[in-house]
Amino acid sequence: MPHWCPGCGDFGIWMALKQAISQLDIPRENYVIVSGIGCGSKMPHWIKTYGIHSLHGRPAPVASGVHLANHKLTIIVIGGDGDGYGIGMGHFVHLLRRNYNLLYILQNNQVYGLTTGQTSPTSDSGYCSISTPEGVLETPVNPIQLAIAGGATFVARSFAGDIKHLSDMITRGIQHKGTAILDVLQPCVTFNKKNTYQWYQQRIHKLEEEPGYDPSNKLTALEAALAWEDRIHIGLYFKEERPTYEDRLPQLNDLPLVKQPIEEVPVEELLNRLR
């Protein structure tokens, strides 16, 4: 059983992820969950699929390697805001450009929980923690705008306190062909005393209930992502169809790399070229 603090938003994400996986018609052995380091990054240990618990900020490159080796697998990357939007920020941005077919869930609790409550890249300005006792001076990273500007072809947000909505977003992210980014607002009940369940519940509005909202319009999506202190949108912000990275590699048309016959690869010749 997970040993997260009682009430942690990771429980909601765990439930929603299991629900989505059990509802989709994809064999368990086809999933690989790749995580970084953080409280929620322990997720692969508690879901009966294949999984890799990788390094801090590095789930994106590890997942990219798995994907390039076998692009027929269903890959879910999972990690926190400090992991993905801070330490792994460079990897995050380059992942977006490539448009691999995978889902990246970012557990955004606006704090470093595992290391006992330091300010993270998404902590609100003025937020007080043990690392910023006088309050954060910087402007927080806006994950939705960053993902859209970086080239993600599916950008959504959900809330760990709404398992039905979250499970639906995870399902749609898995079904999307291309890189799907799902930012999940996840209360850290132990260290973040500002962004609580109640704080989110008072502000959250669903984009799908906004009259006329069109997720194919990039400019509207960027504008919707500006809302924060008084009103926060969850749902599908932006979606477009674009060829995936592997679509552009004719060598992968028939078989994934891992299934291709190695006898036909001129290993000696390749090695000679490198000598």
Cβ proximity to ligand SF4: between 21 and 39 the closer is 39
Q: Cβ of residue 114: shortest distance to ligand SF4, in angstroms?
A: 6
Amino acid type, 256: P
Count of other CB atoms within 10 angstroms of residue 164: 10
Phi-psi region of 110 (alpha: psi -120 to 50; beta: other; left: phi over 0): left
Distances (CA, A) of 195 to 78, 108, 139, 198: 21, 11, 16, 8
Cβ proximity to ligand SF4: between 197 and 213 the closer is 197
Cβ proximity to ligand SF4: between 66 and 87 the closer is 87
Q: Cβ of residue 184: shortest distance to ligand SF4, in angstroms?
A: 12
Cβ proximity to ligand SF4: between 191 and 237 the closer is 191
Cβ proximity to ligand SF4: between 11 and 50 the closer is 11
Structure-token pair, residue 103: 């889902």
Q: Are 233 and 207 in contact (CB under 8 A)?
A: yes
Cβ proximity to ligand SF4: between 5 and 55 the closer is 5
Q: Cβ of residue 107: shortest distance to ligand SF4, in angstroms?
A: 8
Strand order in the sheet with 232-239: 50-53, 31-35, 74-80, 102-108, 179-185, 154-159, 232-239, 204-206
∠ Cα 96 84 95 (to 5°): 20
Pair type for strands 154-159 and 179-185: parallel
Q: Cβ of residue 10: shortest distance to ligand SF4, in angstroms?
A: 5
Site residues for ligand SF4 per CB under 6 A: 4-5, 8, 10, 39, 109, 113-114, 188-191
Structure-token pair, residue 106: 């970012």
Q: Cβ of residue 2: shortest distance to ligand SF4, in angstroms?
A: 8
Q: Cβ of residue 36: shortest distance to ligand SF4, in angstroms?
A: 13
